[in-house]
Amino acid sequence: MPLFGQSLLSAESVQTDDTLAIFHLAQRYKQEFARSRQFSVKPVMSRGPLCVAMLFFEPSTRTRMSFEFAAYRLGLNVVTLENLESSSLVKGETTVDTVRNVSAMNPDLICIRYGMDEDLDSALTKLKVPVINCGSGIYEHPTQALLDAFTILENRGRIQAERVLIVGDLRHSRVANSNLTILRQSGAEVAYCAPDTNLPQNPRWNDVQRFESLGEGLRWASVCMCLRNQTERHHDQKSSLTPEVYSLDSEALAHFPQDGIILHPGPVNIGAEIKVEALNDKRVRILNQVENGVFVRAAILATILGVEGNSL
Ligand code: CP
């Protein structure tokens, strides 16, 4: 069984078969939910009620809540470290030690988000419990990439040979790194458009085509994926907000195919990455991504925990 009992720490650890199985199950959950507002999951009574621990050391709305919705829809119990200010982190406990202690409470799975923390990167690979990376530093956000690819498949009918233009602050984007891996693995062509101040740092981008002009990139693309300005990571002097010429507005969108789709992982800095008029464009699929996030993350949880059950 793909991913069963395993951690999902990076996009590179996701095999093509895993991706296909997750998409298949996510689509099934979405269809079942449309029919009956529930997923057909058999409780795994022999293993007792399964518990997912949620550890978010960085802020989140979409990722955390969609994992929680997904877990509840699957009949899982969720234990969340709700408020970091009321945890023992304020007494000086490290993130690594926090995770080791939560792991010692024997959750069935840990969902975790954190910043730049090499000690934690390493510690997570040694835990006995499966771990899902819900966003780590500027490196990886594999479940976002899976839900983005699922949304492309749903809207475009394929991923193979789709031309995905990633626009904006690639220098600090974990979303872009994971997307490059999953999209290429699925047969898409990927290119990017970013200012000199915000070029990708990760070597996996070395052979990826760059468009200097947003209009030129949009004429090439069938999917436009805008990125958030990651201002919380703009500590180094080289980085800055992406200039106006990288904002999606109606003038830029005039270059984009009528049947193309526009994605953004959120949260959108409205007026910065996307102008208000462009947000109302019929090609925008941002809330579709958010909706799909619940089904894709449910499929990931169910696959790792082995609770996918039978079709209704
Ligand atoms: N896309 C994303 O990771 O959003 P959140 O930070 O709200 O989880």
Q: What is the pLDDT of residues 79-103, one digit of tens each?
A: 999 889 999 999 999 999 999 999 9
Q: What are the Cα distances from residue 67, in Å, to 100, 168, 180?
A: 21, 27, 23
pLDDT tier, 6 (very low <50, low <70, confident <90, very high otherwise): very high
Q: What are the Cα distances from residue 19, in Å, to 69, 103, 298?
A: 21, 27, 13
Residue for token digits 């621990």? 53
Are 112 and 141 in contact, with CB atoms under 8 Å apart? Answer: no
Closest of 170, 285, 278 to residue 230, by C-alpha: 170
At residue 45, the pLDDT reads 56
pLDDT tier, 19 (very low <50, low <70, confident <90, very high otherwise): very high
Q: Which atom of ligand 1 is nearest to the CA of 113?
A: 8
Find the 167 Cα to ligand 1 centroid distance in Å: 17
Q: Which atom of ligand 1 is nearest to the CA of 134?
A: 3
Strand order in the sheet with 189-193: 209-210, 189-193, 163-167, 223-226, 261-263
pLDDT tier, 50 (very low <50, low <70, confident <90, very high otherwise): very high
At residue 166, the pLDDT reads 98
Q: Which atom of ligand 1 is nearest to the CA of 141?
A: 3
pLDDT above 70: residue 276: yes
Q: What are the Cα distances from residue 172, in Å, to 70, 233, 269, 292?
A: 28, 7, 15, 24
pLDDT above 70: residue 17: yes
pLDDT tier, 311 (very low <50, low <70, confident <90, very high otherwise): low
Q: Is the CB of 266 under 6 A from ligand 1?
A: yes
SS3 for 43?
coil
CA distance 124 to 94: 14
Are 62 and 75 in contact, with CB atoms under 8 Å apart? Answer: no
Average pLDDT over the chain, rounded to an integer = 94
Find the 291 Cα to ligand 1 centroid distance in Å: 13
Find the 251 Cα to ligand 1 centroid distance in Å: 28
pLDDT tier, 47 (very low <50, low <70, confident <90, very high otherwise): confident
Q: How many CB atoms lie within 10 A of CB 141?
A: 27
pLDDT above 60: residue 1: no
Take residue 129 and report the two structure tokens written for it.
């419990």
SS3 for 93?
coil
Question: Where would I find the beta strands (DSSP E) of the chain?
Answer: 51-56, 77-80, 109-114, 131-136, 163-167, 189-193, 209-210, 223-226, 261-263
At residue 100, the pLDDT reads 98
Find the 71 Cα to ligand 1 centroid distance in Å: 17
Quick check: pTM over 0.85? Answer: yes
pLDDT tier, 156 (very low <50, low <70, confident <90, very high otherwise): very high
Closest of 138, 141, 12, 168 to residue 64, by C-alpha: 141
pLDDT tier, 222 (very low <50, low <70, confident <90, very high otherwise): very high
